[in-house]
Structure 1
Amino acid sequence: MPHLDFTLPHWAYWLGLLIFPLVAASLAKRPKPKERRYSAVLGYFILVTGGILGLHRLYLRNLIGLVYIPVFVCILFANAQSQSARSIVSDAANLVRQSERTLERETERVKIAEADLPEMRQALAEAEADAEAGSFAERRAERNVKRAEQRIEQGRERIAEAEAILETAKPAAEEARGTLSFWGNIAKYAFWLLIAGVLIDALLLPSLVRKANANLPPEPELSEAEKKLKALEESERKDDASHVSAGWTGWIDRLSLYCGEFVSYWAVIAVLVYYFEVMSRYVFGSPTNWAHEAMYLMFGMQYLIAGSYAMLTESHVRVDVFYAPLSKRRKAVVDLLTSIFFFIFAGTLLVTSWIFAFDAIAVPSGNALVSDWARGEITFGEVLGTWSLGQWSDPNVRWGEISFNEWEVPLWPMKWVMVLGGLLLVLQGISKFAQDIRALTGKA
């Protein structure tokens, strides 16, 4: 079974977080077609991401895609059996190594003890003949003989036990190796069978899309009740843009709206990355050392950036049983009275994030010009004057704090995103405060 040794480069991680939302937003905002049609572009995307499951054919309502599923299940089952056999091989090989070391060690000890035992017995006989009964020399000689006999007896027992283990461990290891090779070959051939099917379907996909579109049934006409229900749902659906206020606070609201929409598309990245992790782990037996860390760092940044968006769209949790029945003016009064607690929180978040972010680029391991400046070793003018392309391209240059695992992704950008999230939250709080003043004074 082939293995995947792919590690996501740091630049690809950051570039993906920046470019993917832009592409996804442009695709999401395209005008919807008047009639439903299958897309070759979407078909190829599904083929690349889920082709070994036959999802591209299932997308086109082609039941041949069901053939892929049992083959894929066969790979999972074969890998599970291989994992069990691999554990048996490892355990048996460990027992064999330990037993062989025991044999080597105990055989030498028994041999030495057996060679020394006659001399010790002779010394004991001489001590019994020459000294008084119970003398120190006699007791010492008896103790030496007893220890030698015990060493020989224990050594022989350990040798017998090690030989017995070798008799069972070696055949078990050989049998497990055969099982491992058998299931490994099954997984390998099943995998190459799926890959062959995917490659063939990649060539056939345009014709499959045309055939699926040709067989599309006409969309049924909606009944009057369904039309009224659809119109009611559309009227009740409140668009996020409706939360944008008028006046100078509008630009703050739009900034929060755009930032929230931008990071919302990161959730799609998580689906793709965790899909890759599951496939790498259970199909290829190659778990990654970066997928989980990349995603929980991404979700942390998403949570911080989306805070102002949640405040704009009034998505935060609150005690609606008391707040909801209030009039607009009374809601404004309550918001103004409780805003002090919000600004304490948001201001603390912003200041603390700034300290964390600055410390992150000033760590001793950072050897970039920015890190030297953050530590106060050089001035900002020296940073600008000595800047070069190597500060961006040299892999030995570290701008600041990095993670402690093998991926070693820089952590300082996340700390600066905390600053950005705190700043957006403060700005949105200012916008909300101004809107509450307007509502209270009747200028809203």
Structure 2
Amino acid sequence: MTTTTISETSALPDPQEQPREFLLALFDTAVRSALPVHAMASHLPSPPRGRTVVIGAGKAGASMAQAVEALWPADAPLSGLVVTRYEHIPQRPPGLAERIEVVEAAHPVPDAAGMQAAERILALVQGLTADDLVLCLISGGGSSLLTLPADGLSLEDKQRINRALLESGADIAEMNCVRKHLSRIKGGRLAAACAPARVVTLTISDVPGDDPATIASGPTVADAGTCAQALAIIDRLKIALPDAVRAALQSGALETPKPGDACFAGHELAVISAPRQALEAAAARARAAGMDAWVLSDEIEGESREVGRVHAALARAVARHGQPFKAPCVLLSGGETTVTVRPRLPGAAKGRGGRAGEFCLGLAQALQGQPGVWALAADTDGIDGVESNAGALVAPETLARARALGMPVQDHLDRNDAWTYFHQLDDLVVTGPTFTNVNDFRALLIL
């Protein structure tokens, strides 16, 4: 299934007659509200006396760079380099000059292209003066796209560690604590390299709480975490390290720049788009159409399937008892859930899917076909995990249709195979890259 772009002024589909299309329209509204072109203008600094160098990384990197190019004075110098995910460069608007180079690299597991981009970005900020401006554009995905292993680590080591973190069920703060301390560019190190230039960081948040030190592992933000904390996470998850790197963590040799460090003096930072804003935009669109809408939270974390089950319990309470909200209504939530990849059974095919799909599996299982409840869960960057879909849809008949096809939901949960389940039902949400990233979007429609 492909989402349909609906203009800001068009009427929403009738939720009673077209519940799926109604949910897709809300998702489209949330994504559109988070596009850099709508949020950049009020946050751009004035051109400096010296040079302006634009650097950055993330899934929204290319669209952020284009927004800067469109808004920056034509007679003011502008150059730089931004790295984004493969196939995440939007079509350039007619007549827009390309002054910021954009390159592509791999996500969620880093590759050589990302390492080369990080090396080039570090080189670009060498030799700047206090009259120069570094404009840093950061969005979700930057942790993988901007990779520069610490001394003693190879790219292959970083790839192995990153895969282990992704499959461990660790939350984003834990993963990024490790990434920062095993990097030569994250955790504020890029800011230190820019000195003495003025640094302005503009971010699109994809993390619960919008902590700029967590977004893309905070390359220009002071890091309050420690080597000891990173090592404790690595040991708890049983991730192997080269002996020299373990020793460097134990001694504190890989410590990151801390709050109060002189390298951050005069730096400015703004979060230009965030999950809460996207959820509120969807809620406002629903309310304008006469539907009650409630934003539960933009900071929900936890195991995806379990979060799905909690949402199902709430939806059933509304549908059956009119508590704590009255139907009809829409319940919205965001955040960043996690998926712990289960060991593959002998002879079993590898499961496919991401956290939005796994949320939908847990939700569908717990709803047990509850009449009057429809749901959509999707990642606002258009990519659920590493698949081609953004997420999936759930309807009252989801379980029955799947059983008719010989697809018990528990089997798919056991092998983390949400993609296959919803693909067979033709209930995948497919958008392609959206060129922004404000994390998970979930909407439950209760009639």
Q: TM-score, normalised by structure 1?
A: 0.23
More helix by share: 1
When Rg is computed on C-alpha atoms for both structures, the one with the higher figure is 1
